[in-house]
Amino acid sequence: MADVVVERGRVARAAGARRGSSLRNALGRKSTVAFFLTLPLILLIALLVLYPAFYSVHLATLNKSMTKFVGFGNFTFLFKRETFWMVVQQSCIFAITAVIFKALIGFIVAHFVHNIPAKGQRKWRGMLLVPWVIPPAMSTLAWLWLFDPSYSAFNYTLSFFGVGPIPWLGDTFWARFSVILVNIWYGAPFFMIMYLAALKSVPDQLYEAAAIDGANWWQRIWYVTLPMMRNIIAITTLFSLIVTFANFDIVRILTSGGPLDTTHLFATWAFQVGIQSSDIPLGACVSLFMVPILAVAAIFILRDVNKRGNEA
Amino acid sequence: MADVSLRKVIKRYDDVEAVRGIDLDISDHEFIVLVGPSGCGKSTTLRMIAGLEDITDGDIMIGGDVVNDVPPKDRDIAMVFQNYALYPHMTVAENMSFGLRLKHYPKAEIKARVTEAARLLDITDLIDRKPKQLSGGQRQRVAMGRAIVRNPKVFLFDEPLSNLDAKLRVQMRIEIKKVHQKVRTTTVYVTHDQVEAMTLADRVVVMNKGCIEQIGTPNELYHKPATRFVAGFIGSPAMNFIPCRLEDVGGTLQIRLTDRIAFPLPPARAARYKTLPRTEKLLLGLRPEHLTESHAHLAPGVETFETVLDVTEPMGMETLVYFGLDGTPVCGRVDPNAGAKDGAPMRLAMDLNNMHLLNEASGVVL
């Protein structure tokens, strides 16, 4: 298709040279028309994405009062701060652990839902999507009550087994555990629905062929389901990794980064530094650090997606 | 290799009975084709033999063992699917060797078997390609290769040629026959195409509405159909069914087709039908090739009549002629040089030595 367009473009150009009316020909070219048709969207993206991105780069090079250009001064300052490295570490732990569990739980639940007869499946699908459709700011508030050290449902229940009380949000380990748990609860349904769609696209005959070839349940998953879902798994994981890495609301509501900044992620720390401590350039600088880390992850995960394309 | 037996096999889905108690014995090395229209239960029967469908009642035996509750992987069968069902992420060699790898065969043996199967199917050059890079016919060969390398007791084919174009279908049909001649594995083949059934099978099983209508060699089914369904299903163009009745005229039994047309029956046929009640509503079953142009010298039992042709279809080696007998559409096959023309009168000859007489109500061939 692309070849045809290029060829037509050439023909159009040659004809244009003959007639000396290159502008009219340029406008008549398919690629030009396509460009103009997509121009509104390009402008919108430029306005909403590119401008803020470059503006934050610009901000990151200013001093605290935003009056002087300091180059990489903010970056070198950050490198020297222990909290920064802790945020890097915590963001990685948070995102990687949460994404692994979300993917795992999503995969298992998708399998169960896939095997429910079509009649009851819609009901289950709807119910299992609930955590994902409730605004996280609201659902996290409910979790905040559940985690309350003195009168929470969790500690109350655990007290019957002689366990606790657990300082869910007061201790570094448990606070990290809690924010990850809530993030998994919120994000697993997304994986579930994506994997369910992928599962439904695997032809039944492949499973039948595998069953006849002698594959047991586990081998069918390993040799048929997973390879067939590879691209969806890669893209979903990347997408979730980005969203989880940039998470703000869960940590902000549950711990505000505490205790002692140990649950801070880039976004919550950038907010604290930039907005609450009124050092906007430093906050911009913190948030910019997400870009190289996520870019590396994107390259790794998407490396094979294009190559594999649609093997079916 | 093994024989396969079905005993009173029933398959019921909720309140629909897809297979209604069929009995079938397939002997070792035999090539059996299940044929019938859509929804006749042929694919369900095959899938029950494969173990992909549970059976509601009855017994299925492979090699003498009842396999009702044996999962597909332990039945030692191989199946070729209509849409090939190749694993898209594996190469041809990996596809073919998948079953052997799961069973932990030694690598050298796997390689030898795959190479041999690839040679047999002429796909040696494709061995490292992915299914996406293959044509329909090549994919079908790989699917067959995957079945062959396993060296199973039984091959099951589920309409394997339906997705191919007409020319390739003929070619692959011959390939399948050749492969069976070489490997001699018991084969059950499902198709809705009666030509495939006739050309491939040692014996054909004609199914209709979940029951077996008739089992027989291709020739038996063609020349001695048991029911109207079989008579009409096998053969292309289909057999003509012309309403008729028997009458006695001057001591000879004759068959009356219309008010104008009645022929004396040949002696062998007359002896066979003489006890039939004369009032019974009957159908004359006659294949198009037994309705030809008239000759000067007619064999005994061949009768001629004059008709006006509605439509003619020149096919090259023959011309199909269509006309009506008292409103019943009839098809005949005449020589291309016999001068058949649309709308023109023509004298045709009816070979009553090859006639069939059917009970109109029951459809049974008498």
- Which residues on chain A are in Cβ contact (under 8 Å) with B89? 227-228, 230, 308, 311
Q: Is A135 on the interface with B (CB under 8 A)?
A: no
Please state the pTM of the whole predicted model. 0.77
Q: B residues 57-86 near A, CB within 8 Å?
A: 71-73, 77-79, 81, 83, 85-86
DSSP 8-state secondary structure symbol assigned to residue B257: S
Tokens of B349: 């000859």
Measured CA angle at B292 (ends B291, B298), to 5 deg: 105
The per-residue pLDDT for range B215-235, each reduced to its tens digit, is 999 999 999 999 999 999 988
pLDDT of A2 reads 42
Chain-chain contact of A212 with B77 (C-beta, under 8 angstroms): yes
Nearest alpha carbon to residue A2 among A25, A28, A31: A31
Alpha-carbon dihedral sign for residues B74, B78, B80, B85: positive
Tell me how far apart the alpha carbons of residues B37 and B190 are, in angstroms, rounded to a whole number.
11
Q: How close, in Å, is residue A238 to chain B by CA atoms?
A: 22
Q: Tell me the pLDDT band of B83, cut-offs 50, 70 and 90.
A: confident
What's the confidence (pLDDT) of residue A308? 57
pLDDT over threshold 50, residue A171: yes
- Confidence tier at A18 by pLDDT (50, 70, 90): low
- B98-114, pLDDT tens digit by residue? 999 998 999 999 999 99
Residue A260, pLDDT score: 83
Angle, vertex CA A142, rays to CA A137 and CA A144, nearest 5: 90
**A196 alpha carbon, distance to own chain's centre:** 18
Token pair for B134: 């293959």
Average pLDDT over residues B341-362: 90
CA dihedral A267, A273, A276, A277 (to 10 degrees): 180
pLDDT of residue A302: 74
Chain B: residue whose CA lies nearest to A209: B85
Mean of the pLDDT values across residues A68-81?
A: 83
In this model, does residue A12 exceed pLDDT 70?
no
- Tell whether A203 lies on the interface with B, counting CB pairs under 8 A: yes
pLDDT at A134: 86
- Other beta carbons within 10 angstroms of residue A23's beta carbon come to 8
Residues of chain A found within 8 Å of residue B51, distances taken between Cβ atoms: 211-212
Point out the least confidently predicted range of A59-68, B87-96, B226-235: A59-68
Q: Which of A203, A212, A224 sits opposite B78 (nearest CB)?
A: A212
Residue A146 pLDDT greater than 90, yes or no: no
Chain A residues in contact with B99 by the CB 8 A cut-off are 212-214
pLDDT over 70 (residue A5): no
Question: Are B89 and A230 inside 8 Å of each other by CB?
Answer: yes
Q: Count A/B contacts: CB-CB distance under 8 Å.
A: 67
What backbone torsions phi and psi does residue A234 show, to the nearest 5 degrees? -65, -45
- pLDDT, tens only, B127-148: 999 999 998 888 988 998 998 8
Two structure tokens written together for A68: 């002087």
Q: Is B50 on the interface with A (CB under 8 A)?
A: yes
Q: Is the pLDDT of residue A13 over 70?
A: no
**Contact with chain A for residue B101, Cβ under 8 A:** no
Residues in a beta bridge with B114: none
- Nearest-CA distance B328 → chain A (Å): 45
The structure tokens listed for B180 are 């069976």
| Cα A140 from Cα A144, distance rounded (Å) | 6
Residue A169, SS3 per DSSP: coil
A312 to B132: CB separation less than 8 angstroms, yes or no: yes
A211 Cβ under 8 Å from any chain B Cβ: yes
**E strand or H helix at A110:** helix A82-115
Within 13 Å of residue B257, how many CA atoms lie on the same side as its CB?
27
Looking at A57-61, A163-167, B39-43, B198-202, which range is the least confident one? A163-167
Look at residue A127 and give its three-state secondary structure. helix
What are the residues facing B302 on neighbouring strands? Answer: B351
Tokens of A70: 């300091």
CB distance B85–A203 less than 8 Å? yes
Mutate to test the interface with B, among A206, A212, A307, A310 (most CBs of B within 10 A): A212
Query: Taking Cα atoms as reference points, which of B261, B246, B252, B247 lies closest to residue B366?
Result: B246
For residue A272, the distance in angstroms to the closest alpha carbon of chain B comes to 48
Omega prior to A136 cis, within 30 of 0: no
Question: What is the CA angle A28-A31-A37, rounded to 5?
Answer: 90
Average predicted confidence (pLDDT) for chain B: 89
Do the interacting molecules here have an ipTM over 0.90?
no
Cβ neighbours of A215 in B, within 8 Å: 73, 98, 102
Q: ∠A295-A299-A303 over CA atoms, to 5°?
A: 165
Asked if A228 lies within 8 A of B146 by C-beta distance, the reply is no
- Residue A205 contacts B, CB cutoff 8 Å: yes
At A200-214, the pLDDT tens digits run: 888 988 999 999 988
Q: What is the pairing mode between strands B319-325 and B356-359?
A: unpaired
The per-residue pLDDT for range A249-269, each reduced to its tens digit, is 888 888 887 788 888 888 888
pLDDT score of A1: 39
| φ, ψ for residue B4, nearest 5 deg | -125, 135
Confidence of residue A307 (pLDDT cuts 50, 70, 90): low
Q: What is the pLDDT of residue A72?
A: 82
pLDDT at A195 over 60: yes
Chain centroid offset of residue B343 CA? 34
DSSP classification of residue A65:
T
Pairing of strands B4-13, B57-62: antiparallel
When pLDDT is averaged across residues A75-101 and rounded to a whole number, the result is 88
Q: Does residue A126 register a pLDDT over 90?
A: no
DSSP type of residue A62:
B
